[in-house]
Amino acid sequence: SVFDGNLGSEIGGIQHASPQVERPRTVVGLIDALIDNLERELASVEQQGIARITQALNSVVGRSTRQKYSAEVTAEYVLRLYKEEAGMARRPVYVLSSGEQRLLDLCFVSALVSVCREREAEENAILFPGAVAPLVVDAPFGELDPEYQALAAKTMMGLSDQLILFLSKTHWTKEVDQAIRPQIGKEHLLVGHRASPAFGAAPVEIAIGPKTYQQMHYDAEQDRTQIVSVQEAA
């Protein structure tokens, strides 16, 4: 309860002194009971939410990994990964490579999007209904091997109505291009302009499909970064 024992004792003492405080005391008791009920309801909703996220997470992990893994979200919202082998009990994976950790993080984000999509139609729930916004991911493939890159891209594309990826040229691999090319709506480049001379600096280029694009221009009027559509840059 948000009301301590001292307050209750004071209210009781005041009532003995004056019956006029009975109504305020009743209101205070009602508010106290409502708070207790709401706290219990929210705790139940939180447990159900963690279970839904864990279920969605396992579904994504199963589609996005080569080996048999399972995962769970604890009450403290810690992600735990387990490896399952035939004829053996699942065992926790305590040490993850940077690529495995990155993939697990992406799976978790994808699971959250999936749960939000399921909750869009929940109008009578105690919490606001879910909403699916554009999914914006910065450098999602940097620490993944090529096979995982394609799997992660396909997984994210299947969960959001609009997927926005920020990729550097090292992330734009053949596997990524093949996975997302059929679904691309618009492509843009961040092109740098520097007022200083090149001084022999190597060209900054990015290859997208069969073409190579310049991403740095020197001897410009001012230092700036320009957003250019790939179609305009061709």
Cα 165 to Cα 135: distance, rounded to the nearest angstrom: 8
Identify which of 159, 115, 156, 117 has the alpha carbon closest to the alpha carbon of residue 137: 156
pLDDT at position 2, please? 47
Q: What is the pLDDT of residues 19-75, one digit of tens each?
A: 666 777 778 888 888 888 888 888 887 888 888 888 888 877 777 666 677 888 888
Cα 43 to Cα 51: distance, rounded to the nearest angstrom: 13
Q: What is the pLDDT of residues 137-157, one digit of tens each?
A: 888 877 777 777 877 788 778
Place of tokens 């001897």: 219
pLDDT at position 133, please? 75
Lowest-pLDDT range, 2-6, 88-92, 201-205? 2-6
Rg of the chain over Cα atoms, rounded to whole angstroms, equals 27
Residue 220 banded pLDDT, cuts 50, 70, 90:
very high
Cα 161 to Cα 105: distance, rounded to the nearest angstrom: 20
Residue 4 banded pLDDT, cuts 50, 70, 90:
low
Write down the mean pLDDT value for the chain: 79
Residue 1 banded pLDDT, cuts 50, 70, 90:
very low
CB 149, CB 175: distance < 8 Å: yes
CA distances in angstroms from 149 to 2, 59, 114, listed in the order given: 50, 18, 20
The answer to whether residue 18 scores a pLDDT higher than 70 is no
